[in-house]
């Protein structure tokens, strides 16, 4: 199969295989279908990779099914050793993965290496430690005793998004630790780092078919996985609309187990007793990190009225300016958004805010250059009903409003169909506990934003989905519990 060579950090040449990774080999799509990959920094063609079709999904499923027959019997220590070996390789080649994510996704190299790659390694090692600890329970019953076993589901699939490579490993690590085989469909915008992971999986010594990786379109390869009767579980991270379609496909086919991590419209709440400098730091990061292309972005900012205008002035001062350009360069603080479609979507919301007369604190325009650069943008005095306050923009656009009382801001924060992530800024411990308990989100951070750790679960409430990545709770989504009951005869 062919390969492509791109230039990464410090001009390093990186060779990437372009085929589908099936049965530990890179192979072309059966009908020759391909997918073009763009560099969003320059708006130029970067690479062409194979695009999985329904027939290719069938091949991957058969590969995974064959592998599961022996993989499910593998000793837990084998799974542990392979996950740890993969972690070593990912850590060793972190600059390669971070370079690819920067080139094809526009993400800052230092952020990718320091967070996304580091999180990949942390999750691999964390779940490697769980491989021999997926335990059941023993119980007494009237006739004798019973016990439960947590067994692997079988052939599983994951559809991962374009906005961070660490989510790939959020799915892979617990799925493999639990003893499943896994087919992963990578995103059409950013397939190259997934291709490199395929090489790493082979190098680590995973048996053929245990992990298959399919670049391709969601409407083709993703739909085929969602509808496939031999896929017993599917995990998805992406939009709420696509999550609905996956659930419908699962219902139409084999009622496969589904876990969904969907959209977010995260509230960040700043009380007047907060450390203002700390709050400014984290609320700025919460909407500018990765250009706001994060489902957990703190895109709704509520500030107590007694410090509101002061906060607006300082927030604008800290978040409006950025050095945009090549994400591989150390001086760059803002990369391009992922695609021209993403740029158009973000700017359409900005225009809605402008045309309706919202107070524009800063930004609101495309930045100079051939790539897909958009300015950090913030609107103030945004009403609860406005689309920029209610809908996920997936860009560096902050919607800011004031509040007076604790109950008022709780009501405003919970006035959303989405419930993924939230942040609370206060130095009052009792208030922090009260508000954290009242917020309808899967994660609440206090006096910070967006921290992720392999041993703490992540997932949503309401239309942000169900199921959990990371933490020991993630294993529940990749296992099935079997109960065995014994009638102890005299």
For tokens 């406005």, the residue is 386
The rounded Cα 367 to chain-centroid distance in angstroms is: 27
**CA–CA dist 66, 69 (Å, integer):** 6
Q: Domain for residue 490, yes or no?
A: no
**CA–CA dist 176, 152 (Å, integer):** 9
Q: Domain for residue 405, yes or no?
A: yes
| CB of 280 closer than 8 Å to CB of 311 | yes
- The angle that helices 118-130 and 94-105 make with each other, rounded to 10 degrees, is 120
Q: Domain for residue 469, yes or no?
A: yes
**CA–CA dist 135, 224 (Å, integer):** 33
- The angle that helices 276-288 and 308-319 make with each other, rounded to 10 degrees, is 50
Is residue 391 part of the annotated active site? The answer reads no
pLDDT at site 1: 58
Residue-wise pLDDT tens digits, 117-142: 999 999 999 999 999 999 999 999 99
For tokens 């695609």, the residue is 339
Q: Domain for residue 445, yes or no?
A: yes
For tokens 């994510």, the residue is 101
Taken as a whole, the chain contains a residue count of: 490
The rounded Cα 449 to chain-centroid distance in angstroms is: 16
- Same domain for 250 and 329, yes or no, is no
**Segments of the chain scoring below 70 in pLDDT:** 1
Q: Domain for residue 489, yes or no?
A: no
- Same domain for 329 and 399, yes or no, is yes
Question: Alpha helix locations (H) across 113-204?
Answer: 118-130, 166-177, 192-204
- Same domain for 244 and 347, yes or no, is no
| CATH label of the domain that carries residue 257 | 3.40.605.10
Q: Domain for residue 135, yes or no?
A: yes
**CA–CA dist 12, 47 (Å, integer):** 16
In Å, how far are 150, 459, 483, 490 from 487, measured between CA atoms? 21, 40, 13, 10
In sequence order, the 6+-apart residues with CB closer than 8 A to the CB of 90 are: 97, 117, 120, 121, 124, 169, 197, 200
Q: Which residues lie across from 152 on neighbouring strands?
A: 479
- Same domain for 99 and 145, yes or no, is yes
Name the domain count of the chain.
2
What's the token pair of residue 36?
A: 């073009």
- Same domain for 150 and 297, yes or no, is no
The pair phi, psi for residue 44, each rounded to 5°, is -125, 160
Is residue 38 part of the annotated active site? The answer reads no
pLDDT at site 489: 86
- Same domain for 183 and 307, yes or no, is no
| CATH label of the domain that carries residue 307 | 3.40.309.10
Residue-wise pLDDT tens digits, 188-207: 999 999 999 999 999 999 99
Closest CA to 382 of 393, 372, 368, 373: 393
For tokens 């990949």, the residue is 120
Closest CA to 422 of 445, 393, 398: 445
Identify the domain containing residue 408 by its residue range: 267-457
**CA–CA dist 228, 222 (Å, integer):** 10
Catalytic residue among 261, 351, 448, 473: 261
| CB of 354 closer than 8 Å to CB of 382 | no
- The angle that helices 94-105 and 76-92 make with each other, rounded to 10 degrees, is 70
Strands annotated E in 281-328: 300-304
E strand or H helix at 236, and its extent?
strand 233-237
| CB of 269 closer than 8 Å to CB of 435 | yes
pTM: 0.96
Q: Domain for residue 240, yes or no?
A: yes
- Same domain for 358 and 382, yes or no, is yes
Q: Determine how many CB atoms are found less than 10 A away from the CB of residue 106.
A: 29
Q: ∠229-230-231 over CA atoms, to 5°?
A: 95
Q: Which residues lie across from 235 on neighbouring strands?
A: 158, 259
For tokens 């750790």, the residue is 453
For tokens 């990186």, the residue is 14
- Same domain for 332 and 417, yes or no, is yes
- Same domain for 208 and 315, yes or no, is no
- Same domain for 195 and 313, yes or no, is no
Q: Domain for residue 488, yes or no?
A: no
Burial class of 243 by CB neighbour count within 10 A (0 to 12, 13 to 18, 19+): buried
- Same domain for 99 and 140, yes or no, is yes
- Same domain for 224 and 310, yes or no, is no
What's the DSSP call for residue 115?
I
Closest CA to 131 of 387, 475, 446: 475
Alpha-carbon Rg of the chain, whole angstroms?
23
Per-position b or e across 396-405, b if 16+ CB within 10 A of its CB:
bbbbbbbbee
Catalytic residue among 122, 156, 295, 392: 295
């Amino acid at each position: 199969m062919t390969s492509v060579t791109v230039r990464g950090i410090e001009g390093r040449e990186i060779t990437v295989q372009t085929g589908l990774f099936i049965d530990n080999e890179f192979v072309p799509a059966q009908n020759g279908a391909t997918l073009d990959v763009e560099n969003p920094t320059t708006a130029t063609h970067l690479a062409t990779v194979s695009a999985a079709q329904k027939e290719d999904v069938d091949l991957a499923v058969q590969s995974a099914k064959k592998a599961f027959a022996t993989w499910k019997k593998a000793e837990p220590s084998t799974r542990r050793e392979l996950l740890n070996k993969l972690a070593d390789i990912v850590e060793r080649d972190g600059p390669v993965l971070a370079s690819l994510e920067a080139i094809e996704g526009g993400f800052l190299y230092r952020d990718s290496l320091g967070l996304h790659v580091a999180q990949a390694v942390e999750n691999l090692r964390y779940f490697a430690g769980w491989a021999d600890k997926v335990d059941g329970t023993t119980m007494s019953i009237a006739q004798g005793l019973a016990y439960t076993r947590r067994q692997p589901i079988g052939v599983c699939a994951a559809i991962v998004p374009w906005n961070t490579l660490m989510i790939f490993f959020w799915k892979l690590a617990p799925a493999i630790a639990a003893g499943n085989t896994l087919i992963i469909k990578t995103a059409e915008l950013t397939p190259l780092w997934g291709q490199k992971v395929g090489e790493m999986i082979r190098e680590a010594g995973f048996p053929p078919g245990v992990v298959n990786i399919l670049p391709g379109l969601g409407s083709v390869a993703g739909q085929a996985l969602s509808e496939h009767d031999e896929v017993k579980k599917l995990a998805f991270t992406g939009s709420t609309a696509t999550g609905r379609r996956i659930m419908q496909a699962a219902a139409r086919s084999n009622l496969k187990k589904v876990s969904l991590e969907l959209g977010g419209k995260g509230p960040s709440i700043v009380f007047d007793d907060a450390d203002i400098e700390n709050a400014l730091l984290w609320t700025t990061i919460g909407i500018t990190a990765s250009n706001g292309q994060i489902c957990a972005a703190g895109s709704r900012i509520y500030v107590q009225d007694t410090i509101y205008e002061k906060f607006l002035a300082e927030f604008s001062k800290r978040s409006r300016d950025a050095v945009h350009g090549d994400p591989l360069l150390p001086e760059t603080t803002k990369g391009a958004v992922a695609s021209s479609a993403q740029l158009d979507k973000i700017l359409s919301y900005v225009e809605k805010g402008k045309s309706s007369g919202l107070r524009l604190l800063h930004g609101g325009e495309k930045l100079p250059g051939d790539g897909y650069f958009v300015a950090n943008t913030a609107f103030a005095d945004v009403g609860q009903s406005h689309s920029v306050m209610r809908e996920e923009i997936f860009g560096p656009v902050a919607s800011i409003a004031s509040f007076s009382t604790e109950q008022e801001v709780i009501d405003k924060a919970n006035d959303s169909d989405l419930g993924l992530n939230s942040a609370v800024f206060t130095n009052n411990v009792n208030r922090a506990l009260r508000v954290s308990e009242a917020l309808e989100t899967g994660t609440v951070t206090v006096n910070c934003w967006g921290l992720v750790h392999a041993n703490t679960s992540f997932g949503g409430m309401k239309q942000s989905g169900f199921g959990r990545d990371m933490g020991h709770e993630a294993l529940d989504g990749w296992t099935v519990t079997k109960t065995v009951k014994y009638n102890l005869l005299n």
